[in-house]
Structure 1
Amino acid sequence: MSDPAAKAAVEERAALLLAVRRAGVRDISVMRAIETVPREAFAPYKFRDLANRNLALPLGCGQTMSRPADVGRRIEALRIGKGHRVLEIGTGSGYGTAILARLAWEVVSLERFETLAIEAAPRLAALEIANAAVLHADGLAPEATLGEFDRILVEAALDAPPAALISMLSPGGTLVYARREPQAGEKRARQRLIKVDRTESGEPHETDLGPHSLGPAASGLAKAL
């Protein structure tokens, strides 16, 4: 490859995928989805030169674009199949939405910040992703008319998922979120990545997937910050 810039971009992309694997992501379909979604298409313009690094990047409205390795861990935990309907709480830039859309039959993503929701939709359209919809909505109090979902991903830290979300999870479905666990004497609560499997009988079963980090969840609608 004679173009130094193109060569550097390929090397950065390879290093990014290696970082995702080192974080423990092994599912081939998840790795392929991450490989085929250009993160630079979702990163703020002034940070696009950092898009192919395993770094969290600032977004508008005081939000953050998660590290690709963390996105990969959350999505792998869902075990998404081609026939699954997925609900994402917290669209952000739309990067995670695009990866989910590569894996699922349908993705509905709810974003409380109107500005972020408006900006994410054309990014997905530019990649010709037709099976994902971004809605300006309160993800912690979703409308029941959205129906049931096979998989739910909460892109935020909670003490526990709201009953409204659990009720939208189909029997046999899976929900993934980061749980806050306050520690005595510590100002900032530690977090654990939690997978909730709803059994066919409707009972939830939790699995702790280890330390994680996400911004705190907030309820209600907002235009911007």
Structure 2
Amino acid sequence: MTGERPLPGQMDLPFFSEEQDHLAEEAVEVGSFILSLRARGIRDTAILRAMELIPRDVFAPRRFADLSRSDVALPLPCGQTMTSPGTVAMMLMALGVQEGHRVLEIGTGTGYVAALLAQLGAEVHSVERFNTLAESAVQHLKIVDLALRVKIEIGDGLAQRVRERFDRILLNGAVLSIPSTVTSLLGPGGRLVGAQTIEGFPRLVRIDRLDDGQLRQELGANLRLSPLVTGVAATL
């Protein structure tokens, strides 16, 4: 006894499982997310590719997972904030990370920016003042298989460090002035990017170490960034 014969053309119809449907929807979301960044003037293909490959929802708090592909900042534990993707992309563009660069990141947060830096080919040393955030960042980086490219330290990222030099330094927060304890860590041709609060508003700041060893500072657009606090958190 034979089974029912398929209708004409039936064998040519693709079969979509629920998992495939979910992947298709996710691909659409990612595509829209990248297009929104391009609309904001983010055209660096390496950065856009990194943001396409690193799922922000892995790093975002679960209760805000539905907003992870939106260009919005998200609240984090310890009273901190996960910076919006658009702001992150602007800072990464200014930073100009290249393959093999040694990067100091001050303010690990969830580990999302550290993951992007690692995806761009950097060797990342990230400092976080909150133990809770540092521990969760390690787990997030393991999920995206980048834990070996990022070293996370619990400490005060603005404190003096002895005999260390970095190609790039990223401040994930705003300060009233860039401390010399940080600029002294810039190696020859090094660059620091962060935000400096001027007249109450954080503005993008870029500091380059010139060939003669001097520092050149430039200010850019206003940014929505939380203040960067000194010291190690006594709790959390």
Structure-1-length-normalised TM-score: 0.91
Q: Where do residues 55-204 of structure 1 align in structure 2 (5 Å cutoff)? A: 55-129=72-146, 130-144=148-162, 147-182=164-199, 189-204=200-215
Stretches of 4+ aligned residues off by more than 6 angstroms: none
Q: How many aligned positions are there?
A: 218
Local SS of the residue matching 1:207: strand
Q: 2:6: which partner in 1? A: none
Aligned equivalent of 1:220, options 203, 209, 231: 231
- Could you tell me how far apart the structure 2 residues matched to 1:11 and 1:128 are? 24
Confirm or deny: 8 A CA contact 1:107 1:133 kept in the other structure: yes
Deviation at 1:158, TM superposition (A): 0.8
Gaps of 5+ in 2: 1-13
Deviation at 1:31, TM superposition (A): 1.0
Gaps of 5+ in 1: 183-188
- Could you tell me how far apart the structure 2 residues matched to 1:57 and 1:220 are? 23
Aligned equivalent of 1:16, options 19, 33, 39: 33
What letter matches 1:214 in structure 2? L
Q: 1:186: which partner in 2? A: none
- Could you tell me how far apart the structure 1 residues matched to 2:37 and 2:23 are? 21
Deviations 1:122-170 (A, max 9, x none): 111221111111110101104325x100000000101221101101011
Highest Rg: 1 or 2? 2
Confirm or deny: 8 A CA contact 2:108 2:126 kept in the other structure: yes
Confirm or deny: 8 A CA contact 1:23 1:73 kept in the other structure: no
- Could you tell me how far apart the structure 2 residues matched to 1:110 and 1:215 are? 16
Confirm or deny: 8 A CA contact 1:109 1:133 kept in the other structure: yes
Query: Could you tell me the percent identity over the aligned residues?
Result: 39
CA RMSD of aligned residues (A): 1.6
Confirm or deny: 8 A CA contact 1:178 1:213 kept in the other structure: no
